[in-house]
Amino acid sequence: MKKISIAIDGPAAAGKSTIAKKVASNLGYTYIDTGAMYRCVAYYALAHKIDVHDQAAVEGMLKDVKITMTPEGRVLLNDEDVTLSIRENEVSMGASVVSSYPKVRNFLVSQQREMAKGGGVILDGRDIGTVVLPMAELKIYQVASVECRAKRRHKENLEKGIESDYEEIKKEIAQRDHNDMTRECSPLKKADDAIELDTSDMSIDEVVAHVMDLVYEKAN
């Protein structure tokens, strides 16, 4: 079976990374979480008291940002392990803001393309099928209703022992959807040749099995 490139795009908390990780593990592919890279930029700004809404300041600090994704799935920012801290709410909202800046996008997109060259990769994000890898052999646009995404995230938080407020989560997800879909530079949208997958009423195993079928179709 030939090694292909797989793009999974979709709105916040649609379960893209859960599916991408499982499919990558089944296939022995490299998984690249591009959202984590935007989160690193926001985290760096917050940690250095740089206002994420100050575009010039955020763009100016990029030269000091070195992101490493380890094969074990850890995220390093200038050699500090930020895997868990970039998941905090403030960082999620900040990532949605800094990702609207063209220089931030160019900075990260070129690194993502470099990591993806050679194939055998699965990337998830907002612009993978449209901008990062427009030639990807398989493109999935993964969606679920905002209620369903908020419910899943709320349950996940409670299971992890993280304090969680369903209504608050729903509001934040809706705000991020709005930011990500209406920004000028590379907004979230379905690529013309992407396959839309509504996972609202599907289990994780069902989604993985469906994506695996699509991979076999494309790679054989």
Q: Which is nearer to ligand DC, 157 or 219 (CB)?
A: 157
**Closest approach of Cβ 125 to ligand DC, in Å?**
2
How many residues can be counted in the chain? 220
Q: Binding-site residue total for ligand DC (CB under 6 A)?
A: 14
Q: Which listed residue (38, 44, 101, 141) binds ligand DC by CB under 6 A?
A: 38
Q: Which is nearer to ligand DC, 8 or 211 (CB)?
A: 8
Of 185, 182, 177, 179, nearest in space to 147 by CA = 177
DSSP 8-state secondary structure symbol assigned to residue 194: P
Residues in 94-153 that interact with ligand DC by CB under 6 A: 95-96, 99, 125-127
d(CA 12, CA 35): 10
d(CA 200, CA 50): 37
Site string for ligand DC, 10-29 (x = CB under 6 A): --x-----------------
**Closest approach of Cβ 101 to ligand DC, in Å?**
10
**Closest approach of Cβ 21 to ligand DC, in Å?**
13
**Closest approach of Cβ 157 to ligand DC, in Å?**
14
d(CA 208, CA 212): 6
Residue type, 179: N
What are the two backbone dihedrals, phi and then psi, of residue 143, each rounded to the nearest 5 degrees?
-130, 165
Q: Which is nearer to ligand DC, 13 or 211 (CB)?
A: 13
DSSP 8-state secondary structure symbol assigned to residue 29: P
Q: Which listed residue (149, 152, 170, 176) binds ligand DC by CB under 6 A?
A: 176
Q: Which listed residue (35, 146, 150, 194) binds ligand DC by CB under 6 A?
A: 35
Stretch that binds ligand DC, among 51-59, 73-81, 92-100, 144-152 (CB under 6 A): 92-100
**E strands, the chain, where?**
5-9, 30-33, 67-69, 75-77, 80-81, 121-125, 138-143, 195-198
**Closest approach of Cβ 147 to ligand DC, in Å?**
18
**Closest approach of Cβ 155 to ligand DC, in Å?**
17
Name residues whose C-beta falls within 8 Å of residue 196's C-beta, 6 or more positions apart in sequence: 141, 143, 190
Q: Which is nearer to ligand DC, 152 or 176 (CB)?
A: 176
Q: How many CB atoms are located within 10 Å of the residue 41 CB?
A: 28
Where does this chain bind ligand DC (CB under 6 A)?
A: 12, 34-35, 38-39, 92, 95-96, 99, 125-127, 176, 180
